[in-house]
Structure 1
Amino acid sequence: MALDILIVDDHHIIRRGLARILAEDARIGRVDEAPDGPAALRLLRAGAYDAMVLDVALGDRDGLDVLKTVRAEFPGLGVVMLSVYPESQFAVRALRSGAHAYLNKGCEPDELLAALAKAAAGSVYVTPAVAELLAHNVRRDGPQAPHELLSNREFQVLQLLVAGKSVTAIAEQLALSANTISTYRARIFEKLGVRTLVELVAYAHTHQLGAS
């Protein structure tokens, strides 16, 4: 039976390109698109889908936040996270949050189709790069790296700070108060052991936490 897919990405050209790729495959049935989290949730609540392609960085809301809501409301839905961020930044975090696969946007169409088929069946699709990360996490001795102790929201704020956004701009993007973002920033600084934004950027560079 053909799979019905929902694509969630805030860039129209990305959604159109993905939809065209999926529509050319006989295993895919209906393909719908959503530009943000609220639109995606409206479509999910209105009709059944077998799997969704979800961008990590949505304009209105963090993709991991959307994933959390999706997992609570639609536990049987297959979710493939797709992002420009390298696997080292978000893959393990996404899988721990309930995604069935994490792919970089540079992946081949066949890999995306394979991941969607696995996700729709309720199985996890793991690329060699993600498998190496998971193996590293299992066999590593000693404590976790400081940034791995950040919550998903704290990690999102870290990404935006490193990208050069101000507290006010981050607050507007995430629909939170500036005081809340300042609190997140203080927690991030404390957990990472940094005192200034320059030190935070240096930490992010050392651990490859910036956007690629």
Structure 2
Amino acid sequence: MKVLLIADSPLINAGLRSVIRDTIHTTYFSETASLIEASELCHRETFQLAIVDIRNLSIPDISMIASLKEAVPELTIWVNLRTDFTLLRSLLKARVHGVFSSKSSTSEFERALRKINAGTTFVSDEIQEQMVSAVIGNIPWPALTERQEHVADLLAAGMSRHGIAEQIGVKPSTVSHYRKIIFKKLGIASMKELRQKRGAIEPTAKSGLPG
């Protein structure tokens, strides 16, 4: 297998060579320190894998990676994000085949190398965790149910937990559960925020806070 290492550090190149040689013994390496040089080299030689490990990777760099992929569609490209996960979406749009980070283990890197001929996409464990966190964080909570709307209005009006429980025919602990769900769905953390959300007037001292 012919591998092109695109890294701006000889030490990084040495480490990558060592891991790859230990996994795939018949490997030929070429090295370059920039994506511009890599693009020129790929037009002269055929590589099966290109690994990009550049400090301060930027959007222009990713555009060059996308252009390289477009020019050489059969080339498998892996990119080290190091610790900058903000570029993950752009890299995936550039159709790279693998993304890993500085914390990726040697063992998962080796496993990915063994599967490279199968065309499997390599996404390291840490990157997968980041992707899941991003997706979960962007999922909006569903709207309040009719019962939750009613409880929210009563809470915002300053009615106590026990008073609400008596009015709607549930236990006070159930009202507390409703309040927790309401706060979560509305993305708030205090009664003041709830009153602002519901357009309620601040309760007077006689009204009392929810119990």
Would you say same fold, with TM above 0.5?
yes
Is residue 22–residue 31 contact of structure 1 (8 Å, CA) maintained in 2? no
Taking the aligned partners of 2:90 and 2:101, their CA distance within structure 1 comes to 14
Q: Provide closer, same or farther for how the CA distance between residues 85 and 132 of structure 1 changes in structure 2, counting only shifts above 3 A.
A: closer
Shift of 1:75: 1.2
Taking the aligned partners of 1:49 and 1:58, their CA distance within structure 2 comes to 25
Q: Which residue in 2 is equivalent to 1:34? A: 32
How does the TM-score come out when normalised to structure 1?
0.55
Q: Provide closer, same or farther for how the CA distance between residues 56 and 92 of structure 1 changes in structure 2, counting only shifts above 3 A.
A: farther
Q: Provide closer, same or farther for how the CA distance between residues 58 and 44 of structure 1 changes in structure 2, counting only shifts above 3 A.
A: farther
State the identity %.
Answer: 16
Taking the aligned partners of 1:90 and 1:118, their CA distance within structure 2 comes to 25
2:91 pairs with 1:121: no
In the alignment, residue 99 of structure 2 is paired with which amino acid? Y
1:80-99 alignment runs, 5 A limit: 80-86=78-84, 88-99=85-96
Is residue 63–residue 94 contact of structure 2 (8 Å, CA) maintained in 1? no
Secondary structure in 2 aligned to 1:24?
helix
Shift of 1:40: 0.9
Q: Provide closer, same or farther for how the CA distance between residues 95 and 27 of structure 1 changes in structure 2, counting only shifts above 3 A.
A: farther
How many residue pairs end up in the alignment?
A: 139
Shift of 1:27: 4.8
Secondary structure in 1 aligned to 2:77?
strand
Is residue 104–residue 126 contact of structure 2 (8 Å, CA) maintained in 1? no
CA deviation map 1:155-204 (0-9, x unaligned): xxxxxxxxxxxxxxxxxxxxxxxxxxxxxxxxxxxxxxxxxxxxxxxxxx
Q: Which residue in 2 is equivalent to 1:50? A: 48
How does the TM-score come out when normalised to structure 2?
0.55
Bigger radius of gyration: 2
Alignment partner of 2:97 out of 95, 100, 110: 100
Taking the aligned partners of 1:112 and 1:122, their CA distance within structure 2 comes to 15
Q: Provide closer, same or farther for how the CA distance between residues 50 and 120 of structure 1 changes in structure 2, counting only shifts above 3 A.
A: farther
Q: Provide closer, same or farther for how the CA distance between residues 94 and 82 of structure 1 changes in structure 2, counting only shifts above 3 A.
A: same
Gaps of 5+ in 1: 143-212
Shift of 1:137: 4.8
1:63-74 alignment runs, 5 A limit: 63-74=61-72
Taking the aligned partners of 2:10 and 2:100, their CA distance within structure 1 comes to 19
